[in-house]
Chain A
Amino acid sequence: MNLSIVRRTLAPVAVASAAALVLAACGSDPDTGNSSNESPDGDNSEGSDGAGGGDLSGTLNGAGASSQESAVQAWIAGFQGQNPDVTVNYAPEGSGAGREQFTSGAVAFAGSDAALDEEELAAAETACGAPAVDLPLFIDPIAVPYNLPGVDNLQLGPVTLANIFNGTITTWNDPAIVADNPDATLPDTTITPVHRSDESGTTENFVEYLAAAAAEAWTYEVSGEWPADLPGEAGAQTPGVIAAVQAAEGTIGYASAAAVGDLQTAAIGVGTEFVEYSAEAAAAVVDASPRAEGRAENDIVLELARDTTESGAYPIVLVSYTVVCTSYADPAVGDLVKGYVGYVASDEGQQAAAAAAGSAPISPELQAEVQAVVESIEVG
């Protein structure tokens, strides 16, 4: 009885004091939060005033191609290393999704395996308030790995390659392959071509090459999806293709060069010679490629020269663009985009991507062009 009276009378007191404590804690929390928030806010305005390196802050959002993902990861890490107060997010949801979000103004930049088309350019101009531009900042050589023990340095001309993938050539000792490899001893193993089972920019670039370099052998529609009625096996995404090629003898596939690992890769016929993939050879074909016509001066869209005969150029490459506005109304976002894309186009950024994603650094000339475009981005 006594005890309960004590508890009853004390309870409200206890509750009140507890509440007071909590309130005090709550009260002090926003205070400290405010004071600690003030400095980044200050930095932010400073950053937008004088966009110098190293003192940017804020959050930058992008979305798009998954082909760029590991390169973008490296770029983000490098850029955030230079600017510790910056957070860059990149959602690798696919090129289409990236362009869609960019043209609707949801993200500040997009990664895309294809440049914006006319419709998208118009939508982007509405969202940006100024034209958008495509910048080719990621060059990924696509290798042709094969699994045929005892056969090194396989060489394949474009028509032979197309005929292998369309099912016309079915054994490794086919006369066409023998003609490309006069010195090799080829077994009569059945060829199992392996393609991607998902829709992908790698497939699109590979078949675009086949259609351009071996038009008579490759008559299928060029798209990110492999023609359904062709024979062969499929693997889910790049690791799936690599796993399938590793799993059985006689297989041949195509995949981002960074992913092929220990597998042997074929040298591709260009003109009269056969070229192994390499960063330089991939960058060479990009330099040999003319600009797409009907584009704005600063919109760097390449018409890749798939059928190039230039010596030392490797024609099967994927070029992925970084899409940005030429003007940003929000100075904070604009400065971040300039800083980030400037870093991506720099030597350091390109080397970081080469190390992390096996991409080919863009040539100094292209680099200078891109930097000029980045410099011209209007902020505010």
Chain B
Amino acid sequence: MTTTEPPPTERPAVARRPKTRPGDRIFSRSAQVAGILILVILAGVAAFLVREALPTFTADPSEIDGGKGFFSYVWPLVFGTLAAAVIALIVATPLALGIALFISHYAPRRLAQGLGYIVDLLAAIPSVVFGLWGIQWLAPQVQPAWGWLADNLGFIPLFSGPASATGRTMMTAGLVLAVMILPIITAVSREVFLQTPTLHEEAALALGATRWEMIRMAVIPFGRPGIISGIMLGLGRALGETMAVAMVLSTGGFTWSMVTAGNNTIAAEIALDFPESSGLKTNTLIAAGLVLFAITLAVNMFARWIVSRRSEFSGAN
């Protein structure tokens, strides 16, 4: 530690090899270790999940929660997880793209900076706080809307009544999730939109395009892979979000309706039932966690594939 001064030896005049300084070696080695470590951690998590989940698959189906085996236990949870995430994406994506475009192409520079900062701040709010907000404030506010949906569009299974009296429904949970993933999608898309080559934009304008046409022809095609990865990042968070859903959603068995109490997500189910679980129930919950792990992995790989398929047309090369 104290050898900070290299000994000043006289160098003989020999052919110089490319010199590797200690800093180079240390850095490359530590970067390598970091890279390997993330793989090891991922593999470790997967191995743990599989090992702990195994008893669930070998156990007698009647002993699993619900008494009909693991599959019938987990599919409503998978449905709930996907439903909440899809609602969140449907709400958040257009809003996030609008905010991102406004910041990158419409807002005056000073306003844009402040706005970007505020959107980033949203990402720093802990999910428990979103949960509190959702249950105390948002749910009672949106309850009449769900009542209206149930009364007027109740023939659609997704809105069949009676609507929840407290407003703590899948739709509300989806809205809370939408607010939570908004900053992620916005931040990624905004960065990509700002990267659009000025030449493309100016060329479009020179050809007589309006600003909206310029955005449609130059900015959005260029930014598409970025938009998609932003959406996928947001989807990842929405799928795994635990606390906010556990607090906001009035959980229950499977129902198609998104405006009544019912349904549950995998992450919320684990958070709610794990504290008092023991024995096979714990294994079942971990197996549900394994399913969530697999879904998230699949979503991310799908996003990678889309991005790589699109990248050659993006103009980024």
Q: Decide: A248 near B275, CB < 8 A? Known: A232-B261, A234-B251.
A: no
**A233 vs B140: C-alpha distance in the bound complex, in angstroms?**
14
Q: Any chain A CB within 8 A of the CB of B259?
A: no
Q: Any chain B CB within 8 A of the CB of A29?
A: no
CB-nearest residue of chain B to A196: B272
Q: Are A240 and B247 in contact (CB under 8 A)?
A: yes
CB-nearest residue of chain B to A8: B5
Residues of A within 8 A of B (CB): 7-8, 11, 15, 66, 93-97, 99-100, 190, 192, 194, 197-201, 224-225, 228-229, 231-236, 240, 243-244, 247-251
Q: Are B272 and A190 in contact (CB under 8 A)?
A: no
Residues of B within 8 A of A (CB): 2, 5, 65-66, 135-136, 139-140, 143, 162, 164-168, 246-247, 250-253, 261, 264, 272-273, 275-279
Q: Are A250 and B165 in contact (CB under 8 A)?
A: yes
Query: Can you identify 20 A-B contacts, CB atoms within 8 angstroms?
Result: A7-B5, A94-B276, A95-B276, A100-B278, A190-B162, A190-B165, A197-B252, A198-B272, A199-B273, A199-B275, A232-B252, A232-B261, A233-B166, A244-B135, A247-B135, A247-B140, A247-B167, A248-B166, A248-B167, A249-B165
Q: Are A236 and B247 in contact (CB under 8 A)?
A: yes
In-complex Cβ contact of A234 among B261, B273, B278 (8 A): B261
Q: Decide: A200 near B276, CB < 8 A? Known: A15-B2, A228-B66, A233-B261.
A: yes
Q: Are B166 and A197 in contact (CB under 8 A)?
A: no
Which of B66, B166, B278 counts the most A-chain CB atoms under 10 A from its CB?
Answer: B166
Contacts of B167 in A (CB 8 A): 247-248
Question: Chain B contact residues: over half helix, strand or loop, or mixed?
Answer: loop
Contacts of A235 in B (CB 8 A): 168, 250
Q: Are B272 and A236 in contact (CB under 8 A)?
A: yes
Which of A192, A200, A232, A236 counts the most B-chain CB atoms under 10 A from its CB?
Answer: A236
Q: Decide: A199 near B166, CB < 8 A? Known: A236-B246, A247-B140, A248-B140.
A: no
**A190 vs B165: C-alpha distance in the bound complex, in angstroms?**
9
Contacts of A234 in B (CB 8 A): 250-252, 261
Contacts of A197 in B (CB 8 A): 246, 250-252, 264, 272
**A62 vs B140: C-alpha distance in the bound complex, in angstroms?**
41
CB distance from A92 to the nearest CB of B (A): 8
Contacts of B143 in A (CB 8 A): 248
CB distance from A263 to the nearest CB of B (A): 14
CB-nearest residue of chain B to A236: B246
Which of B139, B246, B272 counts the most A-chain CB atoms under 10 A from its CB?
Answer: B272
Contacts of B261 in A (CB 8 A): 231-234
Which of A100, A229, A247 counts the most B-chain CB atoms under 10 A from its CB?
Answer: A247
CB distance from B62 to the nearest CB of A (A): 13
Q: Are A247 and B166 in contact (CB under 8 A)?
A: yes
Q: Are B164 and A233 in contact (CB under 8 A)?
A: yes
CB distance from A192 to the nearest CB of B (A): 4
Contacts of A200 in B (CB 8 A): 276
Q: Are B5 and A11 in contact (CB under 8 A)?
A: yes
Contacts of A228 in B (CB 8 A): 66, 252-253
Contacts of B275 in A (CB 8 A): 66, 93-94, 97, 198-199
Contacts of A248 in B (CB 8 A): 140, 143, 165-167
In-complex Cβ contact of A233 among B65, B136, B250 (8 A): B250
Q: Are A243 and B136 in contact (CB under 8 A)?
A: yes
